[in-house]
Structures are given as C-alpha cells and as structure tokens.
Structure 1
C-alpha cells in the first residue's frame, strides 16, 4: 500500500461537529477499501487568498493515509459530490511525518535566531552591496 497526505477545505459555515463527521465519513471510505488513516489534524478556520465558491474562509483538515490507490480514488470521487468540500489535494509521500505538521507548529520570534545585518548603508559602507560608483559619460 502507498502512503498519502490528504488535505481538504470545507465551507466556512460548516460547524466543528460537521467537520468531524466529514472526516469520519472519508476515513470510513478508506477503511472499507482496505486502507487505514493515521494522523488527523484540524487546522481550523483560515482565510483564503481568493474566493472559492463565494467563500472567503475555509476549514482545513489533514489526513495521513496508508491505502491502495483505489481507496484514495473512491474517497476523492465522493468528495467531488459533496457541496461542503471546496477543494482537496492528495500527495503521495515516502513516509509520514512524526509529530505535528508545519501548520500546527508554533513559531516564535525568538526561534528564528539572528538573521544577520539588515542591509542598511551603515553596515557595508556608503554604497551598500552595489560596489564602487562608476563615472558617467
């Protein structure tokens, strides 16, 4: 069986309980077709870059899947018919990540460390990184 990461976007007016029901429905489809679902993450309600089917926001959810391709195809087919699903994407991976995904990892300003000089003129001389001035003709 192959490993997949599957992300889908649900409409903004779907409740948290309805989102859990959607996840359980698609988890059931995977399991009926001989696969299994590992980690399930709810990334919450996030703003979209552009409107999708008149929605400005969407609920994001991630599922780690270990299943045959037929099971994933059936799940995607069912998603196409559901009006609550705005978009979905399935990506084949070599191995599932351990721990929380990048979307759930809390980034702190102190974790970034020193990023070096800002590039102000005082850091590298009068001309910055452009080099010496050439005479004009």
Structure 2
C-alpha cells in the first residue's frame, strides 16, 4: 500500500538531513522507500554518495515506519536512536549520481521498552546491501536525554 503521508510528515529530520525521496509502500511490519542520488544529495562528491551512508538510509526508513505508526494513531512522530548494526555489507564503494536506491525495512522484534530490531536492504543498479539495525525509541526522547545526562 502507498503511504498516505510524505517523508517530511513521517521523519523528524529536516532540510538536507532528510535523505529519503519518497515512501513507496508499507505493511503491518515493513516499509519501502526510495532515495534519488544527485549532486545535491547530502554527502555527495564527484564519485557519488559513499556507500556507508546506506546505513542512514536504512535508519531513516525505520524512522518513517515508526512515524507512520504514530501518524495512524493521530500522534506526532517520535525521535528514535540507532543503537547499532550487524552484518552491514554493500557491494560498491559509492552510490552513483543519477541512481535510485530502493530501501526496504522489516521489523522482526519490538519490545515494550522501545527496543526494536529491523532487517534492512538496499537495492540499486549493480548492488545489494543488507544489515540488521537495532533501534531504541523512548516515549519521550527529551526526557530520556535529560535523564541520560544525570
């Protein structure tokens, strides 16, 4: 199903730090999106965008998934934190200028305390990338950060 909300309505990032181009579909435990790589893309140089940025594409797609869940309940998207990744691999050093990357994230675990695990993949011309990402989304990120400082 195509998302009824835009990337800007789902992901708390703004301006150039909002890296997803469009949400292309979603289901109960997954979301798909695209990223269009151009010379104006964040992190781009004359070779394209370094492939390690793919982790952030995955993380923002997870943020969009979580934001969609909140919007469907009539609430605002919450801030989440990338705790770590396992098994990140990518077949190319750069994502080429002019290319389109397909991003898919699938939730495989969610605990009541806000911890989640997602299986993620990126697909583009000539490459596939996979990773497992661990995310923490507290009910109140500002309070969590204040408590963490103490």
TM-score normalised by length of structure 2: 0.26
Instruction: Give the number of the structure with larger relative contact order, counting CA–CA contacts within 8 Å between residues 6 or more apart.
Output: 1
TM-score normalised by length of structure 1: 0.28
